Amino acid sequence: MAVVVACSRTGERSKQTIFAEFKKGNNMDEKEFWKIIDYAFYTSEGNTKAEGEIIIQKLSQYTPEQIVDFEVILCKKIIAADDYKIVAIDKIIDGSVSDDTYLYFRCWLIGLGQKTFEQTIKDPDSLADVIEKGVVPDFEDLLFVSTTAYQNKTGKKKEDDTFPRNVAFDKGLNYDFGGPKTKGKDWKESELPGLYPKLWNKFN
């Protein structure tokens, strides 16, 4: 059964058709990861707090090991998005960039769903086609969904080495300080209008 919802997270009211019933898969792979993200995005109607809660609710249905796998995939996506091109569009949309806001911006990109995330990595200026001025590009809560779901599933409250983020970091998936260097070519602010004209025109 399908339902139609209005999605305002991108700053515009656009109708998206989604499946009303979420069907949990047997494995936590990239397909399952994006199924959870996409479902939460479209059913949250643009509210990142609600999206985070939906992700936690769905993720809590999986095994502790699968919740860890979700976190591992999330960390890989955050690192994959660490590129000077993404820093540039964060600067254009948000007006300024810091270590924290850049991390939350990448979480926001992931939270927009697979199609938008992958297209933005390929062609950052294409993001102008799906967002509007006034959007708040911040999804900090995404960083904590695996921890909360793991706590719900295991009953553990105090974090230890078995918690998702610690396991991911032990695998070398550090997206924070001490992580991989930002990829790509740095830019000067004066170059931004020419590099990403659609986004520049929309936000300036």
pLDDT in tens, 35-76: 999 999 999 987 999 999 999 999 999 999 999 999 999 999
Whole-number CA gyration radius for the chain = 17
Tokens standing for residue 170? 């032990």
Q: What mean pLDDT, rounded, does the chain reach?
A: 90
- Answer yes or no: pTM beyond 0.85: yes
Q: What angle do CA 47, 77, 154 make, to 5 degrees?
A: 75
| pLDDT score, position 20 | 61
The pLDDT tens digits of the residues spanning 116-157 come to: 999 999 999 999 999 988 899 999 999 999 999 999 999 999
> Domain extents for the chain?
2-203
Asked if the model's pLDDT at residue 167 lies above 90, the reply is yes
